[in-house]
Structure 1
Amino acid sequence: MNEGLSLPRKAINIKDVLIITGISIGYILLSIWLVGFKSDQLVLVGIFNSLYYLSNITRKFILGFSIFIVYWILFDYMKAFPNYQFNEVHIQSLYELEKKLFGIDFNQLKLTPNEYWKLNSNAFLDVLTGFFYLMWVPVPLAFATYLFFRNKRQFIYFSLTFVWVNLLGFVVYYVFPAAPPWYVQEHGFDFIAKTPGNTAGLIRFDHFFNTTLFQGIYSKGSNVFAAMPSLHSSYPVIVLFYGLRSKLGAVNIFFFIVMIGIWFAAVYTSHHYVLDVLAGITCAVTGIFSFSKLIQLKQIERFCEAFIKKIS
């Protein structure tokens, strides 16, 4: 169904300006208090305000994508509340379980899949997995943009499902803090609080292209000990599900390939265990199923209808 972009019923008034300004200032102040000042915060506020005031279409667009902005803010604020302060971090137990379930015999040793691929990496896979890992942001956002212009209802459902799956994943992060494979490779089984992020196997992509792309990304990580579930592995599942619902045909083949590629890249680059990937898939399936039940609630249904009306 193609839902057009009708003009808003009324122009921006002083109340709208005060609300947007108040939210912008409040966000900056709260961010400074929780995680300290970063230029990214000003960029986010600048983009939101620019698109909100630029035109009718851009206003509706940024209001729709505010769902993703809320997710990003919550993810950023996790830095203020490290999950290792609330529960024990699982390091050795997760490593040993991974080796027991998915261990690979190599040169008379039993290795985890991460260890095996670290010893058997090659330039082709380094580049391929790097490109796949870069897709976890642009593919969902590009698909969301397509839905925004083609089907507002599916856009809202997709966006809310995306955030809902993340919230479920965040809960697991705090209930079950887990170290990624690269942590064991770098630090062994000892817990070291405030360990900085690490590009792990993705550093080979950076070296191949003589760039610091992934180094820049992972230097801003919210929490090293949030490896399970792999939400990187959750996102392409959500995209493929809504792609199939939208009957996108051959595009869904691309979504499927990206999904498999991200799953493999997560393990190949030592950012996640196979167990983390499986947990991410489970989180996505659980989120998709539970959201389909949530939207049957009157309150959620009314919220969705109001949101659709707001951005239509």
Structure 2
Amino acid sequence: MTGLAAHVTSLWGRWWIAPFLPALYVLALVPAGMVRPEHVVIAGAVMALGLWPQTKGLVAALYPGIFVAILTDAMRFVVPLFVTAGRVHGCDLRALDLALFAVATDTTPGDWLQRHISPFWDVVFAIPYAAFLYVVPLYALYLFFRDRERMSFYLWAFAVAHLIGYALWLIVPAAPPWYIRANGCLIDLAAAPSAAGLLRVDQLLGITYFHQFYGRAANVFGAMPSMHVVFPLIGLLTAWRSIGWRTRPVHILYASAMMVASVYLDHHWIVDGLAGVVVAVAAVAITARLLKRPWP
């Protein structure tokens, strides 16, 4: 056994491939010319930290999140194999929102909000949408030093929620509200992704952040369940037994703001958000059972 192989095996045992998996994924993208700078950065960081004894534990603890990052990126290859135009739900979801939550004749809450947009609320509701990508790793790192058992619970529930959510994206492909407003009920699989209401924030601030971020979305027709709603709920539910009412309102405010923002920014119908609530609860319950943690 070579020195490197012995070193890796001593650190990871039978999971020796773990520090190399993101790099192998990047190598698989090279022939198709689909490698982006963030792919290289993540792969390099995981390999470097995973091979250093002092930080191997951090990489191992964060691995459910690393798995989700790879899975999320790989969805662009999986979606075309399962999603066809005839299977995509569009105007029927608007009709369901209308039947359940109509605020006026032929007016869903999302319709009403689109008629009452303002720069102030655009910025307010852009905050949770801008923050979610950074909240997850930063919160996980905080828990790594503060409460590793809760970190494990949080990240594994996060991973389970993605497996459920992505499976539903393939089983029940759904068009977001902005697509219906722009294209009507006709489903075009070649439609480009959009940041929807967040484009107004780009224009207001003179930036292209949201346009570029959502322009790389792997799946236009993945509105149900809303994974944006899932993210803060996973944090709230996995922390519920461990925190008091000094910090619990922060979790509740974040989850509530994300739910409202998802509708205001025209990314989701209310039923998409409710589906996200069900996915979050199911993922936490499944993870609690797997990890033998008391919940709720």
TM tier, smaller: 0.7 to 0.9
CA–CA separation in structure 2 for the residues paired with 1:281 and 1:120: 26
CA–CA separation in structure 2 for the residues paired with 1:203 and 1:26: 35
In the alignment, does 2:70 pair up with 1:78?
no
TM-superposed CA distance for 1:19, in Å, is 4.5
In the alignment, does 2:145 pair up with 1:149?
yes
Say if 1:135 and 1:258, in contact at 8 Å, map to a contact too. no
Aligned to 2:62: 65
Deviations 1:286-309 (A, max 9, x none): 111122223349xxxxxxxxxxxx
1:27-66 residue pairs with structure 2 within 5 A?
Answer: 27-32=25-30, 36-53=34-51, 56=54, 58-66=55-63
**Worse overlay, 142-151 or 68-77:** 142-151
TM-superposed CA distance for 1:275, in Å, is 0.3
Aligned to 2:99: 100
Say if 1:87 and 1:177, in contact at 8 Å, map to a contact too. no
Q: Letter of the 2:167 partner, please give it.
A: V
TM-superposed CA distance for 1:179, in Å, is 0.3
In the alignment, does 2:288 pair up with 1:285?
no
1:11-22 residue pairs with structure 2 within 5 A?
Answer: 14-16=6-8, 19=17, 22=20
- Pick 1 or 2: higher relative contact order, CA cutoff 8 A, min separation 6: 1
CA–CA separation in structure 2 for the residues paired with 1:296 and 1:246: 16
Please give the root-mean-square deviation of Cα atoms over the aligned residues, in Å.
Answer: 2.4
CA–CA separation in structure 2 for the residues paired with 1:114 and 1:127: 17
TM-score between both structures, scaled by the size of structure 2: 0.87
Say if 1:34 and 1:80, in contact at 8 Å, map to a contact too. no
Aligned to 1:8: none
Unaligned runs of 5+ residues in structure 2 are 10-15
Cα gap change, 1:34/1:239 in structure 2, threshold over 3 Å: closer, same or farther?
farther
Say if 2:23 and 2:44, in contact at 8 Å, map to a contact too. no
In the alignment, does 2:248 pair up with 1:240?
no
TM-superposed CA distance for 1:49, in Å, is 2.5
**Worse overlay, 153-162 or 241-250:** 241-250
CA–CA separation in structure 2 for the residues paired with 1:155 and 1:207: 37
CA–CA separation in structure 2 for the residues paired with 1:20 and 1:270: 38
Structure 1 stretches of 4+ with a deviation exceeding 6 A read: none
TM-superposed CA distance for 1:97, in Å, is 1.3
Unaligned runs of 5+ residues in structure 1 are 1-10, 298-312
CA–CA separation in structure 2 for the residues paired with 1:249 and 1:27: 43
DSSP 3-state at the match of 2:50: helix
CA–CA separation in structure 2 for the residues paired with 1:177 and 1:81: 13
TM-superposed CA distance for 1:52, in Å, is 3.0
DSSP 3-state at the match of 1:245: coil
TM-superposed CA distance for 1:210, in Å, is 1.1
TM-superposed CA distance for 1:54, in Å, is 5.5
Cα gap change, 1:93/1:142 in structure 2, threshold over 3 Å: closer, same or farther?
same
CA–CA separation in structure 2 for the residues paired with 1:19 and 1:72: 17
